[in-house]
Structure 1
Amino acid sequence: DRHVLLLVAWADLTYQEVADALSIPIGTVRSRLNRARRKVRASLSGAHPSLIADIAPEAISHG
């Protein structure tokens, strides 16, 4: 999950590029990214909103 999140959020790879880089199906990329986003949201649920905005906002809300 972490690898997918990092490749999408910080390396700015497309889902297909992530799938190719990790040798996994694109559907697996989508499910891992969804799971990772849920974990990030849960971890940041009590954080100050300005901190959440500073931590790769595209990783949380980017489709």
Structure 2
Amino acid sequence: MAINKGWRKNHPLEYSAGSEYEHIIEEMADTVIMIWQIKYLLGVGEGELSKIIEQKLDRQIKRIKGENDA
């Protein structure tokens, strides 16, 4: 986990927002690189991936709206 709340509570003087932010950005970069590698290895095109992302985002938006209506 990029941010560990328990660790921060036990080590408040060692916690630095700047260093945690940088760590999160590094973890995000690692994740994006792995996604690029998987796309390359499987031959997944950007259009194909974008289509699935759109479908998933639309479904999630509908779920969120449904929760707000309840």
Q: TM > 0.5 between the two? A: no
Q: Please tell me whether Structure 1 or Structure 2 has the larger radius of gyration of its CA atoms.
A: 2
TM-score, scaled to structure 1 = 0.41
Structure with higher RCO (Cα < 8 A, 6+ apart): 1
Normalized per residue, which structure has more helix? 2
TM-score, scaled to structure 2 = 0.38
